[in-house]
A and B are shown apart, each in its own frame.
Chain A
């Protein structure tokens, strides 16, 4: 029986400064600090899993551009359970752990709003004419890429070889609905204009089938083994092939379909001949062909289009749902979400098959393609006119008034009130609830946090670490009452049963 698919998404945003020159690390730091500055106390990220005494408190900058910014400290944990930080010269938000695909969509939208609020706060501090602008995309069109990574909880017992081989077939072919669209080609050895328009932002940057890298020689399947939870029981699949989506439905289907395919792999429900014979060339050729006619070779020697492989995966998923159910991707109150993922998956594949423009309100690469071609037709642009690339970039602009994706009226799943709430309130059905609620209640006493622990300063004696090795504990159902009863962190630790001895820092009290 497949494990519940706890999942999340982490997005690195493109960043530029206008009206002045700045190092992107500094600009990113200013952004994160501008947001942090709106709060009385931000809690830092704990990098040192084994050293509870070392903590990184968030810093609030008084001046917009101090000569030296302690960038390694620009790393905060929010009361919604998310992490907001500077990574590789980009501002990045990791959503809290979510228990459904729709929840990932909601917290990804909250992350966008956090980025927008940061821009407003930072730009208000800058002189007139100076501006920091961010983009939710994955490439600059000049060979530099930055990621939008997904994470899924898996059973440690699932053989990794089988997992890698089968999920690769999904990763290569799901591009038809996850692709955010890109003008030009950035694949090494190919000229920019050799592919006027392609489906994915990221496909050009993949050079290996499997491996540990995320910044060089990127692999389709990333083997990073850092579960951020009990390593004897779980694996965290770190997915680096995805595009950052502006379409909420695209994010929903990207996460939902992948969670279902992973559950099918865990339950050994997929025929092994779904594997692709040559995944890398398949990745590139699917992305480089917006007509969707390119075929990929399977290990059984047959060739199929990406849409055909996706339709086969969908039909298997429908059978899987009928025989096993989809409770592993739902939580109480969201029954029916599995069915919704399947129906959305079918509608989009059938739409792409008949006429992609019919799904332009849900699939980013189609929305962007139609916009660029309509603009080009109206103004008589050649295929290589630089304005096409400008439209491509501006599709992802995080300024609401400038964002072309926003103006296209893509279909949505959540309203602004729900998104506003998700900026500060954590998901209730994962350990993110415990993290977020502790931060909200005791911002001055939680001195550091990371995915699998919180460190408290209770005032008398050493810092106290509370481990959270179970992603599906620490939920509202399990600790909500306990948190209500605890007036202080001291009460909380007493209620959790920690005895305060040295090894208690490292021992899971077992109540969450």
Chain B
């Protein structure tokens, strides 16, 4: 497990995000850090392209009807 934490898994997002080896290694310097940041931004853009197919069709009804009884 230890080494795996540093790995970006593409299992569920493989269709959205082409795997690019280890560029999401935790950043140890500013360059790597901004590279990781821009990759995340690209992923976000891809998600936004298709998100409307996933989102609840009527946001207002959905939010209004999401009512829970309090728990712990």
Asked if chains A and B come from one complex, the reply is yes
What are the interface flags for A128-154 relative to B under an 8 Å C-beta threshold, 1 for contact and 0 otherwise?
Answer: 000000010001111011110100000
> Which residues of B11-41 are within 8 A (CB) of A?
11-13, 16-17, 24, 26-27, 30, 33-34, 36-37, 40-41
Residues from chain B with a CB closer than 8 A to the CB of A145 are: 70-71
Say yes or no for A61: interface residue by CB 8 A criterion. no
Say yes or no for A511: interface residue by CB 8 A criterion. no
Residues from chain B with a CB closer than 8 A to the CB of A371 are: 44, 47
Given A408-B43, A409-B13, A413-B4, A141 and B63 contact (CB-CB distance below 8 Å): yes
Interchain CA distance A215-B68 in the complex, whole Å: 13
Residues from chain A with a CB closer than 8 A to the CB of B45 are: 374
> What's the nearest-Cβ distance from chain B to residue A397, in Å?
9
Residues from chain B with a CB closer than 8 A to the CB of A140 are: 66-68
Given A355-B33, A386-B60, A336 and B2 contact (CB-CB distance below 8 Å): yes
Interchain CA distance A344-B70 in the complex, whole Å: 33
Taking a contact as CB atoms under 8 Å apart, the answer to whether A409 and B12 are in contact is yes
Residues from chain A with a CB closer than 8 A to the CB of B63 are: 141, 386, 389-390, 393
Taking a contact as CB atoms under 8 Å apart, the answer to whether B72 and A215 are in contact is yes
Taking a contact as CB atoms under 8 Å apart, the answer to whether A344 and B2 are in contact is no
Say yes or no for A63: interface residue by CB 8 A criterion. no
Which chain B residue lies CB-closest to A146? B71
Number of interface residues of A (CB under 8 A): 66
Interchain CA distance A412-B10 in the complex, whole Å: 9
Say yes or no for A503: interface residue by CB 8 A criterion. no
> Which residues of A255-284 are within 8 A (CB) of B?
none
Dominant secondary structure of chain A at its interface with chain B: mixed
Interchain CA distance A252-B45 in the complex, whole Å: 28
Given A408-B44, A413-B5, A87 and B27 contact (CB-CB distance below 8 Å): no
Which chain B residue lies CB-closest to A375? B48
Residues from chain B with a CB closer than 8 A to the CB of A102 are: 1
Taking a contact as CB atoms under 8 Å apart, the answer to whether B66 and A358 are in contact is no
Which chain B residue lies CB-closest to A240? B72
Taking a contact as CB atoms under 8 Å apart, the answer to whether B55 and A394 are in contact is yes
Interchain CA distance A375-B9 in the complex, whole Å: 24
Taking a contact as CB atoms under 8 Å apart, the answer to whether B9 and A411 are in contact is yes
Residues from chain A with a CB closer than 8 A to the CB of B8 are: 361, 409, 411
27 sample A-B contacts, Cβ–Cβ < 8 Å, listed by A number: A24-B69, A139-B68, A140-B67, A144-B68, A215-B71, A336-B2, A343-B26, A347-B26, A351-B27, A355-B37, A357-B37, A358-B27, A371-B44, A371-B47, A374-B48, A390-B59, A391-B55, A393-B66, A394-B55, A406-B13, A407-B16, A407-B51, A408-B43, A409-B10, A409-B17, A411-B5, A415-B11
6 A-B pairs with least C-beta separation: A146-B71, A409-B13, A390-B59, A147-B72, A88-B71, A89-B69
